[in-house]
Amino acid sequence: MNLNNRPARPQNNIKRNSKNEIVLNTNNKENIIKTEIKNKEEKNTEINSKNISNENINNSKMIMAVTKDTRLPLNVEDLLIQEDKLYKILDNIRIKVNFNFSAEEYLEFSHITSIQTFVIFFDEKYKENINNAQIYEFISAVLSDFIYLKNFVNEKSVDHLKNILFYTHQNLIMIIVLLLKQIGIEYQNNIWVLKLKDLVKLKRAESMNGDEHFIIELNNRLLFNSVINFIKIYFKNPNDYKIFSIFNEILNNLYRVTLDNVKNNLFNLKNMLIYSSENTSTSFVHINLPGPFLPPINKKYEYTLVLDLDETIIHCIDQQEITPLIRPGTKEFLSELSIYYEIVIFTASIKEYADTILNLIDENKKWISHRLYRPHTTVLKSTYLKDISKLGRDLSKTIIIDNACDNFQLQSDNGIFIKTWIDDKDDKTLYNLIPVLKEIVIKKIKDVRKALRKIRDTMIRLYVKGDNTPYSTVLQYITGEKKLKE
Ligand SMILES: [Mg+2]
């Protein structure tokens, strides 16, 4: 089965508003609950009829749980449905059927369930762990849905996700065990409570004997690393910047976000992913940092060369393991030009990813003076830009090279728009640029912006005239062998 082909989703229970965004109608709650009850009852009659007589069944789904100071209502049935839906995702991942459907069912249910959070049932010292477990659970369902939406379904991503789901489900079972301990004695024979007890018996793995709070804490730690790695691997592309930054922000602020915050943010994000709508109210967590980003320039340099990473000097073939292809001439380019220029790598990728690659390329750290990453970009209308005015450098002596001209649109005169490189072994672009860039420094060009404009215009004219070696012709202009027309 080709898991990458995302099948069309059944449309029957999805409502949309005038903008075609998904609307989760809370009026549906009653019907959904009724169906769930029916299904549940059919499923469980057999198990429970053996040991429960009709007389002592207390049919109330809302029971009272004993908390430290008072008694609070707990909707046991919703708890059962929640576990069932979460387990279905895990189960479908294991057998590799389209688990996005079960993820969407979980998410739809989580929208209407009266269980906002279980946190209120716990002592202050346990609240953070329970809150985090709930957030991870929700995130795991969202990720199960997103990897279909983004077409990232493959053996590795599914395995990774299976792990995440396994721990979140284990946490939910632990929470149920803890809640059962708090249920008042008069409800011990309630049919829903008995179902919960059966569930725990069935799904609490033997290896998990031990303090439930300790297991949840341990699982949360595993989940933090696992989820962080997941988003770093699968949402590292600049296009997925929004997704990455929202997850990253949530994970790094778990202690102060609530489950409701997370739900709102991620539901909006999902709408955005499906419809690429600009009207969603997704809170955008990127902060446009003010400059200057760089310390004063080293005295041996007067000129600065800002260089993009992806598809300018490298291309990463494998999203899961960072195995870059390096553009021909990259090392020569860096070693020769670092004599003339302060070289700054400016990438919209994340630090960990970029550093892994740059440490391979510049292993002795002698060519690249500074590295700037995603947080240094300036976000404008969902695009991140490289605003080189924030570097703290003289713009008349600064050049930026990027394969996406949008990235340097704020200072387009400073930019060299380089051909996107994927894997062409015969590419000569960097070799060709070396002498041109060298000459700019040797000739002590007063304002690189003027020089680059002339080079650009000349190159275009040469291309149009059919010159196949415009770089060497341009070089002749720079060295004065030919005169540039003003
Ligand atoms: Mg690039």
Centroid of ligand 1 to alpha carbon of 281 (angstroms): 28
305 CA → ligand 1 middle, Å: 15
Domain annotation covers residue 283? no
What is the mean predicted confidence (pLDDT) over 273-302? 71
Residues 26, 29: Cα–Cα separation, whole Å: 5
Nearest CA to 415 among 452, 442, 446?
452
- Which one of the listed residues 308, 362, 387, 402 is annotated catalytic? 308
Split at pLDDT 50, 70, 90, the class of 138 is very high
* Same domain, residue pair 122 and 269: yes
Binned at pLDDT 50, 70 and 90, residue 4 comes out as: very low
Most confident of 4-13, 204-213, 303-312, 410-419: 303-312
Do 335 and 251 reside in the same domain of the chain? no
Give the distance (Å) from ligand 1 centre to CA of residue 403. Answer: 5
Higher-scoring residue by pLDDT: 23, 229: 229
pLDDT of residue 482: 63
High-pLDDT (> 70) share of the chain, %: 78
Written as six digits, the tokens of 280 are: 């969603």
Is pLDDT larger for residue 427 or for residue 341? 341
Residues in the 5 Å CB sphere of ion ligand 1: 308, 310-311, 403
In a domain? residue 9: no
Strand partners for 314: 310, 326
Q: Ligand 1 centroid vs 353 CA: distance in angstroms? A: 14
Residue 129 banded pLDDT, cuts 50, 70, 90: very high
Same domain, yes or no: 265 and 308: no
CA–centroid distance, residue 407 to ligand 1 (Å):
9
Assess contact for 355 and 266: CB atoms under 8 A: no
Q: Quick check: is 180 in a domain?
A: yes
| 322 and 254, same domain (yes or no) | no
Cβ atoms of 471 and 432 within 8 Å: the answer is yes
Specify the pLDDT at position 480: 60
End-of-domain residue from the set 275, 292, 324: 275
Range of the domain at 196: 15-275
Quick one: pLDDT band at residue 281, thresholds 50, 70, 90? very low
| Structural contact between residues 270 and 309, judged by C-beta atoms closer than 8 angstroms | no
Q: Which helix (H) or strand (E) holds 341?
A: strand 341-346
Confidence band (pLDDT; 50, 70, 90) for 2? very low
Question: Do 113 and 259 reside in the same domain of the chain?
Answer: yes
Give the Cα separation of 130 and 32 in Å (integer).
27
Residue carrying structure tokens 């080293």: 298
390 and 460 together in one domain: yes
Distance (Å, rounded) from C-alpha 98 to C-alpha 100? 5
The answer to whether position 181 is within a domain reads: yes
In this model, does residue 424 exceed pLDDT 60? Answer: yes
**Local confidence band at 393 (pLDDT 50, 70, 90 cut-offs):** very high
pLDDT over 90, % of the chain: 40
Closest among 217, 215, 172 to 196, alpha carbons compared: 172
What pLDDT, on a 0 to 100 scale, did the predictor assign at position 453? 87
- 107 domain-assigned: yes
- Residue 415 CA to ligand 1 center (angstroms) comes to 13
Let me know whether 65 and 212 are in one domain: yes
Q: How far is CA 19 from the centre of its chain?
A: 25
Average pLDDT, the chain: 80
Of 310, 362, 387, 402, the active-site residue reads 310
Beta strands in 38-166 (DSSP E): 62-66, 71-75
Residues 242 and 335 in one domain: no
Q: Give the CB-side neighbour count of residue 474, counting CA atoms within 13 A.
A: 27
The average pLDDT across 63-86 equals 84
CA of 106 to the centre of ligand 1 (A): 37
Q: Which two tokens mark 444?
A: 């002590």
Task: Quote the DSSP letter at residue 303.
Answer: E
Domain count, the chain: 2
Q: Which of 38-47, 68-77, 121-130, 438-447 has the highest mean pLDDT?
A: 438-447
Say yes or no: 312 and 177 in one domain: no
Identify whether residues 313 and 440 lie together within a single domain.
yes
> What are φ and ψ of residue 411, in 5° steps?
-135, 60
Instruction: Return the pLDDT at 147.
Output: 86
Q: How far is the CA of 345 from the centre of ligand 1 (A)?
A: 11
pLDDT score, position 130: 93
Q: Which one has a higher pLDDT value, 42 or 240?
A: 240
DSSP label at 338? T
pLDDT tens digits, 185-201: 888 889 999 999 999 98
My answer on whether 265 and 327 are in the same domain is: no
DSSP 21-87: -EE--GGGHHHHHHHHHHHHHHHHHHHHHTT--GGG-B--SEEEEE-SSSEEEEEHHHHHHHHHHHH
In a domain, 386, yes or no: yes
Give tens-digit pLDDT for 212-245: 999 999 999 999 999 999 998 888 877 777 788 8
Give the CATH number for residue 387. Answer: 3.40.50.1000
Distance (angstroms) between ligand 1 centre and the Cα of 402 equals 6
Q: Is 70 exceeded by the pLDDT of residue 65?
A: yes
Cα 366 from Cα 175, distance rounded (Å): 53
Residue 6's pLDDT band (cuts 50, 70, 90): very low
Please tell me the distance between residue 238's alpha carbon and the centre of ligand 1 in angstroms: 9
DSSP secondary structure string, 410-455? GGGGGEEEPPP-SS-TT--HHHHHHHHHHHHHHTT-S-HHHHHHHH
d(CA 401, ligand 1 centre) in Å: 9
Average pLDDT over residues 293-309: 96
d(CA 419, CA 422): 10
Task: Specify whether the CB–CB gap between 304 and 391 falls below 8 A.
Answer: yes
310 is catalytic: yes
> Ligand 1 centroid to 285 CA: how many Å?
22
Separation between Cα atoms, residue 268 and residue 283, nearest integer Å = 9
CA of 272 to the centre of ligand 1 (A): 24
Q: How far is 421 from 107, CA to CA, in rounded Å?
A: 40
For residue 292, say if its preceding peptide bond is cis, omega within 30 degrees of 0. yes
Residue 398 confidence (pLDDT) above 90 = yes
**Catalytic residue at 308?**
yes
Q: Are 254 and 356 in the same domain? A: no
What's the angle, vertex CA 382, arms to CA 376 and CA 385, rounded to 5? Answer: 35
